[in-house]
Amino acid sequence: MKRLLPFWFVLFPLLLLAQEHGRHYTAPSDPLVQKNLAEWQDLKFGLLMHWGTYSQWGIVESWSLCPEDEGWCERRGPYSTDWYAYKKAYENLQTSFNPTRFNPEKWAAAAQNAGMRYVVFTTKHHDGFCMFDTHQTDYKITDTLCPFSSNPRADVTKAIFEAFREQKFKVGAYFSKPDWHSPDFWWPYFPPKDRNINYDLNRYPERYQHFRDFTYNQLEELCTNYGRLDLLWLDGAWVRPDSTVNRTESWQRGIPDGQDLEMHRIAAMAREKQPGIMIVDRWIPGPYENYLTPEQGVPDKPLGVPWETCMTMGNSWSYVPKENYKSPRRLIHTLCDVVSKGGNLLLNIAPGPDGAWHPEAYQRLEAIGKWMDVNSEAIYGTHSPRSRITRLGNMVYTEKGENLYAIYLAEEGEEQLPDQVCLRFLCPGKDRKITLLGCDTPLNWRCVDGDTVIWLPAGHCGELAGAYAWVFKIGS
Ligand code: GLC
């Protein structure tokens, strides 16, 4: 016989979990950062792009260089059996990178139409290749070794930021703290052993200080020469202060003491050059993690603090020739799910070696855009419902001012709303009106045993209101 667990037995772990989620968050104290963060939270939907020389091989971004026995570090191809030969061939990709179809205005227009409102671009990934015109290294797209350097828009970071700013986007720089090209991170004297520095930091502190200065200088360039920047999205959480290292986590085991970047210096510089800039030092609790960044998944509950899920539109962050893109329905549902829990969705599309996106990526954006044209009222500027009920069955909820939005997530192949829809455990006041976004006529509804039943008359305009998900607005 199945025995029911006592109520507290179920509730207590859930409460702990809820506390855990927001526990490590430190809200920014700078009013300009607070303002920027509040504006960003209202935008809800952004674009992430992972792009580098690795796109030419159609492989994972950077990770194949990392000598760890992990699935995502696996090397393939003719050089794969010899790490040194592989690193050389990988770095040589600089000499053939020539994305002549680069057209950031086309990306920005498609993203804007889809309802995206901010962009984050990989200015430098862990491999250390700079997609901007840094003066700290020649390992960059604008160096003469790279064929694209002769293109007037070789500084692709600049062109991307300008094109998206033109569409009124907030602009963010993804930047990897670790740099597997820098001789002060992986000193060529020793073989690298894992993702961390490969020398004893206590014996060679000047070398590491050099690396800190190099990183500071690169971030200073990004904060100085690239117009208004709203966000620094700093990846590579194994570069972190000792006090935050947890060696029971397998990926943190090898982190040496002192492998940090003195973030207070970087933040002070960044905020002097770019007042109000948000900093996301990912997964490092403290004043430089202005919002949390769960990856490839949506939390079960609202986190109670600012957050963003970053997620791939296909399966990979980087370009692969044959990508398996998620369906428009799944993407729209994910956006609704994230937003109902008070988060933002940062959706990744990877440009190819020629500088173009797959046509399927445009198709997805177009479908999302059509849906947003009708329904974005239930997305932008909303928050998680005060009732704390974000989802019941196929219905997710968002709220804005006096309006509650109930978003009906359609099943696969469900192209029409049923004649009757039920909002469980919800009874709006008698003065409330319920409409379907995209249709003006108020709908008939009634409270039945604590639930709301809505009737949709024959010939209602639900088809017009958008496929994949329908939004009921409960307002005045
Ligand atoms: C993962 C990947 C990394 C990528 C990041 C984006 O951590 O390993 O390469 O940049 O996701 O969120």
Domain residue ranges of the chain, discontinuous segments joined by +: 19-378, 391-475
Cα 37 from Cα 20, distance rounded (Å): 22
pLDDT at 458: 73
What is the pLDDT at residue 1? 33
Q: What whole-number distance in Å separates Cα of residue 71 and Cα of residue 63?
A: 10
| pLDDT tens for each residue of 462-475 | 665 568 999 999 99
**317: Cβ below 6 Å to ligand 1?**
yes
Q: Does residue 7 surpass a pLDDT of 60?
A: no
**DSSP conformational letter for 234:** E
Residue 5 pLDDT exceeds 60 = no
How far apart are alpha carbons 364 and 47 in whole angstroms? 13
Helix H segments across 77-187?
83-91, 104-113, 156-166
In the reported structure, the alpha carbon of residue 267 is separated from the centroid of ligand 1 by a whole-number distance in angstroms of 22
Residue 464 confidence (pLDDT):
58
CATH class of 19-378: alpha beta
- Distance between CA atoms of residues 328 and 349, nearest Å: 14
pLDDT tens profile 344-355: 999 999 999 999
pLDDT at 261 over 90: yes
pLDDT at 2: 34
* 307 pLDDT higher than 70: yes
Cβ–Cβ < 8 Å for 107, 118:
no
Spatial separation of the C-alpha atoms in residues 397 and 391, rounded to whole Å: 6
Structure tokens at 374: 């009708």
Which residue's CA is the closest to the ligand 1 atom numbered 2? 317
* C-alpha dihedral sign at 212, 214, 217, 218: negative
Identity (one letter) of the amino acid at 110?
A
Q: How far is the CA of 278 from the centre of ligand 1 (A)?
A: 19
Taking CA atoms, 365 is separated from 106, 113, 328, 373, in Å, by 12, 8, 8, 12
Strand, coil or helix: 218? helix
DSSP state of 4: P
- CA–CA dist 423, 436 (Å, integer): 13
CA distances from 177 to 187, 206, 230, 232, 438 (A): 16, 18, 18, 11, 46
Residue 230 CB less than 6 A away from ligand 1: no
Ligand 1 centroid to residue 384 C-alpha, Å: 27
Give the CATH number of domain 391-475: 2.60.40.1180
CA–centroid distance, 101 to ligand 1, in Å, is 25
Nearest atom of ligand 1 to the alpha carbon of 317: 4
CA 311 to centroid of ligand 1, rounded, Å:
10
Q: Is 310 in the pocket of ligand 1 (CB under 6 A)?
A: yes
DSSP for 395-431, please give it: EEEEEETTEEEEEEEPPTT--S--SEEEETT----TT
Lowest pLDDT segment from 169-183, 211-225, 359-373, 454-468 = 454-468
Closest to 160 (Cα-Cα) out of 86, 268, 235, 50 = 50
Mutate which of 233, 317, 319 to test ligand 1's pocket (most atoms within 8 Å of Cβ)? 317
- pTM score: 0.94
pLDDT at 52: 98
Q: Is 235 in the pocket of ligand 1 (CB under 6 A)?
A: yes
Closest listed residue to residue 94, CA positions, set 57, 59, 67? 57
- Cα angle for residues 384, 277, 369 (degrees, 5° grid): 50
Query: Which pLDDT score is estimated for 359?
Result: 98
Q: Which residue has the higher pLDDT, 227 or 1?
A: 227
Distance 418 CA to ligand 1 centre (A): 41
The C-alpha angle 67, 73, 77, rounded to 5 degrees, equals 100
CB 127 within 8 A of CB 180: yes
pLDDT, tens only, 96-127: 999 999 999 999 999 999 999 999 999 999 99
Q: How far is Cα 167 from Cα 122, in angstroms, rounded to an integer?
A: 19
Q: Are 94 and 53 a contacting pair, CB within 8 Å?
A: yes
Question: Which atom of ligand 1 has the smallest separation from the CA of 62?
Answer: 9
Tokens of 299: 């939390």
Instruction: Report the percentage of the chain scoring pLDDT > 70.
Output: 94
Mean pLDDT of 23-51: 96
pLDDT of 451 strictly over 60: yes
Q: What is the pLDDT of residues 128-145, one digit of tens each?
A: 999 999 999 999 999 999
Q: Is the CB of 295 under 6 A from ligand 1?
A: yes
Please enumerate in sequence order all residues whose Cβ is within 8 A of that of 7, keeping only pairs 6 or more positions apart, or say none: none
- Best residue among 62, 235, 309 to mutate for probing ligand 1's pocket (most ligand atoms within 8 Å of CB) is 235
Decide: 127 in ligand 1 pocket, CB within 6 A. Answer: no
Task: Say if residue 52 is exposed, middle or buried (CB neighbours under 10 Å; 0-12, 13-18, 19+).
Answer: buried
Q: Where are the alpha helices (DSSP H) in 322-446?
A: 328-340, 359-375
Is the pLDDT score of 14 beyond 60?
no
Structure tokens at 118: 């901010």
